[in-house]
A and B are shown apart, each in its own frame.
Chain A
């Protein structure tokens, strides 16, 4: 597959393996993925399935123990995997893709005022002066709903929700086309979560930004998602439009994941999936979910390809 210029982001066979004493951990193992402008995709999956590693692989934020980092990433048609470290830093980070990191409330430098912190990416990438960047910061604060007099505060003087908004303002300040949100609401109370989701929706509507929302919070993410990708054991097992996916997930794992969401005023107990996700050091040969799958049959010993059906894709022999 070659680069399609009208796609915002195309990822092909992205692999990120970590070296450990027990062997290579295949945290991201052959992920294919596409995203158009002004779309929000939510990547769902349980803990340890490689969601955050996927985000890091996209932004090339690699730890020191990388064993294998391969694949192709096209950002607006440009092959960014070919960039060297300095090119990548200058062109991709924050100009192409912004990241609101996991536990974003801790992502603020404790010794810099939040105003200056939000301005940092603009100062670094756009070369703005302090005064110019401050007016930009004010604009961003309005977007995300942070009172303007907070610019002179230090991060510890802000509540968790406010810090989250500040981290979001920081992601927006260079007006990137794509923002990766790594569990943006995981540590927040329900009201603040709803609030942040509304902010994201409004930004998407007003600025036309695309989002990749990485989360395990299915209910909250369904608010924003245009598309859904389900990740299991380092691989994407199902993608599709949110309106198709949420009523009828195809992959057995997706179905069981959805069934595990507690329903309001229902007597049925939430489902859970027995067993453990497979070890990513030595994943099973065939379908990675086979060991826990109630629909398992002989075919499952072979690795299934992605089967396409009405704009949906699913990695399961049941839908061959």
Chain B
């Protein structure tokens, strides 16, 4: 124990180890936060959700914080509704069972770009007579634009941009631009806009609920993808999945490799021969092609791929490396002494050979974590990602298949990439420092 404590203390002499530990620590925090903030089932529901889940979000929206770095300010998205009072409304009963609903939403618009879209979702309750709604648009320069008058059914969606009558009245093809710009100059007017909604019901008990969705150009912390999904979900959830995949694959394959190498070396003879021949065959088998075949013909589940990865990573060159060291250790006096006092084969393998190797195992184990994290991302990019789980690789695949880079959606590629790079950097730096501490050949005098 004191030796382990000693090694951990030594870690802090190396700035790279401190940095690596810090990054790994942050990733672990991120993973824990993700799992607490968005439970697994919720994450899957959100990731697999379509328009019905994500209708409030714009498509291809960059993260909101790019406004801090851009001279041109992009419109931020929002959504308000009468249900929860975020869209303020007042209902006044009138004569003979009629009623009037007045809802208005005043918001600041200080951006240089127009929003993608504006949509009103209505739900209403009535027996026979449909409620009636009229919409007005108040601009900062004092104009009042009449938008539409319409009877609304139980479920009714009004899309500003697609109203042909409004297009004719405003004499424009781009309603959204025309609503936010000066009719003379055509440039956006900044200031307070107001949407005024006046509804009339004609029956007692008849109700109108409205939701105003403003699809801006930017959204939230991470932006959205082609399916309006908030990228924060896969970015957060990618962390525990990447860490689990990387750590399990790395730990599983290196520990099994070491045990098999130790068993082969100790028992020698045909056991060793068999292990060596399997290794040599496995070394010439195309790793990625086999994974692609498994993904195509059998299952793309992350856990199946993880199992296959571990199985294929056991009999690799590492087994030869371990074997060469075990062959040396096997000849040491204390092993012969252990044989002399009657220690059985398994006891020698697990209590005498393997503990000697653990210091050499740890650095390699830590440094191989990013390789497996990248492997998962690469498989996702090849279309072999888990169909259910939100991972960093899946984001890159979606971005790639939607042409994110040449359409200028850099955030979409860069966010998961930066996280992948940090994961790699953190584990690599920690691994290098551990190697220096545990590998006697690299130990500082």
List residues of chain A with CB under 8 Å of any chain B CB: 59, 61, 64, 89-90, 93-95, 98-99, 101-104, 106-112, 120-121, 124-125, 154, 167, 170-171
A93 to B338 CA separation, bound complex (whole angstroms): 10
Cross-chain contact B341 with A120 (CB below 8 angstroms): yes
> How far is the CB of B326 from the nearest CB of chain A, in Å?
14
* B178 vs chain A, min Cβ distance (A): 78
Chain B proximity of A143: nearest CB distance (Å): 17
Q: How far is the CB of A181 from chain B (nearest CB, A)?
A: 12
Which listed residue (A89, A95, A99, A111) contacts B337, Cβ 8 A?
Answer: A99
B337 touches A101 (CB 8 A): yes
A157 to nearest B CB, angstroms?
A: 10
Q: Which residue of A lies closest to B2 (CB)?
A: A154
- The reply to whether the CB of B37 lies closer than 8 angstroms to some CB of chain A is no
B341 contacts A170, CB within 8 Å?
A: yes
Chain A residues near B333 (CB-CB < 8 A): 101-104, 106-107
In the bound complex, what is the Cα–Cα distance between A108 and B338 (angstroms)? 9
Question: Given the complex of chains A and B, what is the CA–CA distance between A120 and B351 in angstroms?
Answer: 10
A77, B337: Cα distance in complex, Å: 26
CB pair B342 A125 closer than 8 Å:
yes
Q: Does B334 contact A (CB under 8 A)?
A: yes
Residues A124 and B356 in contact in the complex (CB < 8 Å), given A61-B336, A61-B339, A101-B336 = no
Closest to A155 in B: B334
Interface presence of B91 (CB below 8 A): no
Binding site for A on B (CB under 8 A): 3, 268, 332-334, 336-344, 347, 351-352, 355-356
> Mostly helix, strand, loop or mixed at chain B's interface?
helix
A109-B347 in contact (CB<8A): no
Closest residue on chain A to residue B331 by CB atoms: A63
**Minimum distance in angstroms from A212 CB to a CB of chain B:** 13
Instruction: Return B215 CB to nearest CB of chain A, in Å.
Output: 63
Question: Closest CB of chain A to B246's CB: distance in Å?
Answer: 28
Chain B's closest residue to A103 (CB) is B333
| A112 and B351 form a contact (CB under 8 A) | yes
- Alpha-carbon distance A121/B333, docked complex (angstroms): 16
What are the 5 A-B residue pairs with the smallest beta carbon separation, nearest first? A93-B342, A107-B337, A106-B333, A121-B341, A99-B340
- CB-CB under 8 A from B336, the residues of chain A are 61, 101, 107
Most buried by A among B333, B336, B337: B337
CB-CB under 8 A for A107 and B334, given A64-B268, A124-B347: yes
Decide if B332 touches A106 in the complex (CB within 8 Å). Answer: yes
**Min CB distance, A180 to chain B, in Å?**
9
A-B contact pairs, 17 of them (CB 8 A): A61-B336, A93-B341, A94-B340, A95-B342, A101-B337, A106-B332, A106-B333, A108-B334, A109-B338, A109-B351, A110-B334, A111-B356, A120-B338, A124-B343, A124-B344, A170-B337, A171-B341
| Minimum Cβ distance to chain A for residue B2 (Å) | 9
Task: State the CA gap A121–B351 with chains docked (Å).
Answer: 13
User: Most A CB atoms within 10 A — which of B339, B340, B356?
Assistant: B340
A residues in contact with B332, CB < 8 Å: 106
Q: Which of A61, A99, A104, A107 has the most CB of B within 10 A?
A: A107
Max count, chain A CB within 10 A of own CB: residue among B334, B336, B341: B341
Picked from A93, A109, A125, the residue with its CB within 8 Å of the CB of B340 is: A93
- Shortest CB-to-CB span from B358 to chain A, Å, is 8
Q: Kindly state the separation between the CA atoms of A103 and B333 in the bound complex, as whole angstroms.
A: 8
Q: Closest CB of chain B to A179's CB: distance in Å?
A: 11
Query: Which residues of B lie under 8 Å from residue A99 when comparing CB positions?
Result: 337, 340-341
Contact of B344 among A89, A112, A154, A170 (CB under 8 A): A89
Nearest CB in chain B to that of A102: its residue: B333
User: Do A109 and B341 contact each other (CB < 8 Å), given the known contacts A64-B268, A124-B347?
Assistant: no
Contacts of B340 in A (CB 8 A): 59, 61, 93-94, 98-99, 101
Question: What distance in Å separates the Cβ of B344 from its nearest Cβ neighbour in chain A?
Answer: 7
A108 CB contacts on chain B under 8 angstroms: 334, 337
Do the beta carbons of B356 and A120 come within 8 Å of each other?
A: no
